Structure formats: structure tokens, C-alpha cells
Structure 1
């Protein structure tokens, strides 16, 4: 079994990198490809698996050869019953284009039957800013260091070091660090696939 979601993250990161090399903003790629800004953002940030027509449209819009695009992408090794990751193997991921001070590191992304699990380490800088987001599936966060205010729908929850929260990702949410020092969160996504 290979990890298709690992490839999804690689594809998203590669599209984002090439778009930035060209000097385009997300809106420019959306206008030129005919794919919505929201969808391109979700693809680039590994939140959704792009359909083949959407992926081909993006590749063509970026004037890339399909073979060249996929040549350096690789899936993870076959699952051996466990996955060991060194800290140096974590992958930096920018999940939201307009966020400031949200530094995600992808620790693990592994498919489960009809869903996948993704584990990230989020360093939330002091006064970090972004809009609320929603994701398909469930999320679990554990505060490793510091404290945050967590906006979940119409509620604001105060979480301190050692506190945790499990919630439906479809509810609009955003963690905020109003303190003067960094907060570090372990974030686990359980993403459902149809």
C-alpha cells in the first residue's frame, strides 16, 4: 500500500512552488486556469485531492510538461507495520496563503480506509493572524507549549499547556496566540473521503 495522501501534499507543494517561481498570486492562477481560488488554495495546501482534469488544467496553465511535473514525485515506502520519523524528516507546509505566524510541519500523513490521518506540529507565533477555516473530517489538538484562544464557531475556548480539544473540522475555527511567546500545538486531522 502506498501513501496517496503523501503524494497529494507533494503535488500541492510543487504547484505552489512553481506558481511562486513564476511570480503569480493564487488569484492569477485561478483566473488563468478557470479553477476557483478556494480550490487552488485547498490543493496547494494538501487539504483536498485534486481531480485529474483539475490537476491537468493547472499543469497546462503553468506551461509544464506532464511527465516533468511527476518525475520527481514519489510515494512513501510500503507500510511495514510502523512509521518512524526523525525530526529532520518533517515537511514545512504553508496551509493558508494569507496567514501570518502559522508554521505547520507535517509529521505524518497516512491513509486509513475511507479516510486519512495527518499529524502536524504547529508553531503559533505571537499575534499570529489568519481567517477561520473549516475542513472535512475531525481534528484533535494538544497544547505542547504556551496557551491559546481557540475560536470554534461562536465559542472561544482558552487552552493551556497540556489541554486538548477534539472537534468536527466542519465548524469554522482558528487558533489565536495573544501572548508574547510562541505556542506549540500537536494537530491531528482525521480527513474523511467520499
Structure 2
């Protein structure tokens, strides 16, 4: 979904449910100024911001950004489909699936040098691990400069943002994990006493001491 369509979608939905920018700002933790710019297609938004905006508008995240399905529990380098919210400024690769009772959502994201996100806060917690580049996370009043191999785990209820620092002309690649619900579809998982071979649209994998049977057809919640 391109930004013009995204901005129109947010504004049209907000008008339909008769909420002001100030009300949406209060519910999302984003500023009214940022939301106004987003509606007028003058800025971009992170997926985390779209999650809280969708919640305030009482719509699905998929109404604001198209994300690839991930029915299987495993993903492989070079086979994941990259996607972005706006013009490829931040590129995402989905790492996690969703099943009933699952809590963790995860993406790999790549940010260009000099990128700075908006400040956002939401329920849950987040953890990031730096694969390449150098970033600075602002979490409340604290600042954390992270290099390759560094990580950060924090309460996402605290306002936070990330900036890619100038470092050897490098972009930044991070693994993000959190309890924020980025993805909405799920796959059905049931335990099996014996190992089965893959067939009929099912993929079997071992988890701990049990085998799980995963239906690769995603079912919308």
C-alpha cells in the first residue's frame, strides 16, 4: 500500500468513527502533529506505529500495510519476501509465524544510514539484536548506542525510537522480537505422538520432546 493510499485510509477511517487527531494521539502515544503529517502523506510510519494506529481505529493492521504470510515455523535466508511501509525506507523480513497461544513476533529490518524513527509507545516488551551498522535507541530518558553483536531488551510502554548513526557508510540491520502483535493470521498446531512425513499441505517439525503438526494454510483470526 503506497503512502497516499495509507494516509487517505487512516483519515477516512478516523472520520468514520468520529475521532479527532488529539483522541488518536492520546490512544496511540503518537503526537497529533505526526498523525496529521501521516494523513497528509508528509511522513512515513514504522510498523509498530501502524499497529497502535490500527488498534485506535478498530481495524486490522493488514488494512494499513500488506505483510507476507508465514505459515511455517522456519524461514531461510534468500527465501523471505522483503516488504516495507513506505518507499523501501525501512525494509522488513518476516521471521515468525503465528499460532494460538503464541506470544513472540519477530522481523529482521534494514534501515538506511541516517534514518530516525518516530517516537512510539505500546503494550508489551521488545528486544533487538544488531547484525550490522550502528544505532542509538532512545528509551524514555535513556540512550543506548548499539554496535554489531549488541542487544537491548526494554519495556515498550516507555516511549522509544531508533536512529541509525553514521558508521562506515553502513546501513543497519537488526533482528526485532517482541510481544507487539504485528501479524494477525495464525496456523493450527496440534501435538502428535508419532512423527509424520510432510504431505497434504502439512509440515511436521520437532519442538522439545514433542512433534507438532503445522497446517501450512494460514487461517485469519
Normalising by structure 1, we get a TM-score of 0.59
Q: 1:49 to 1:129 in 2, by over 3 A?
A: closer
Report the Cα offset of residue 181 of structure 1.
Answer: 1.9
Change beyond 3 A, Cα 1:34–1:150: same
Larger helix fraction of residues: 1
Cross-structure match for 1:152: 139
Query: Using the alignment, how far apart are the partners of 1:22 and 1:182 within structure 2?
Result: 26
Task: In structure 1, list runs of 5 or more residues that go unmatched.
Answer: 1-16, 60-73
| Structure that is richer in strand per residue | 1
| Aligned with 1:84 (options 74, 97, 101) | 74
Alignment partner of 2:160 out of 168, 173, 177: 173
Number of aligned positions between the proteins: 152
5+ residue gaps in structure 2?
A: 29-34, 36-44, 182-221
Alignment of 1:118-129 (within 5 A): 118-129=105-116
Tell me, in whole angstroms, the C-alpha distance in 1 between the residues paired with 2:15 and 2:163.
32
User: What SS does structure 1 have at the residue aligned with 2:90?
Assistant: strand
Deviations 1:160-179 (A, max 9, x none): 10001111111111111121
RMSD across aligned positions (CA): 4.1
1:67 alignment partner in structure 2:
none
- Aligned residue number for residue 45 of structure 1: 50
Q: Write the deviation string for residues 37-74 of structure 1: whole angstroms up to 9, x where unpaired.
A: 646988993458759x9449xx9xxxxxxxxxxxxxx9
3-state SS of paired residue (1:143): strand
Assess, with a 3 A threshold, how the Cα gap between structure 1 residues 152 and 186 changes in structure 2: closer, same or farther. same
CA distance 1:125–1:141, shift in 2 (3 Å): same
Residue in 1 that maps onto 2:178 = 189
> What is the CA deviation profile of residues 81-112 of structure 1, one whole-angstrom value per residue up to 9, with x for unaligned ones?
x7122343345242xx7x99433332224246
Cα 1:108/1:90, change in 2 over 3 Å: farther
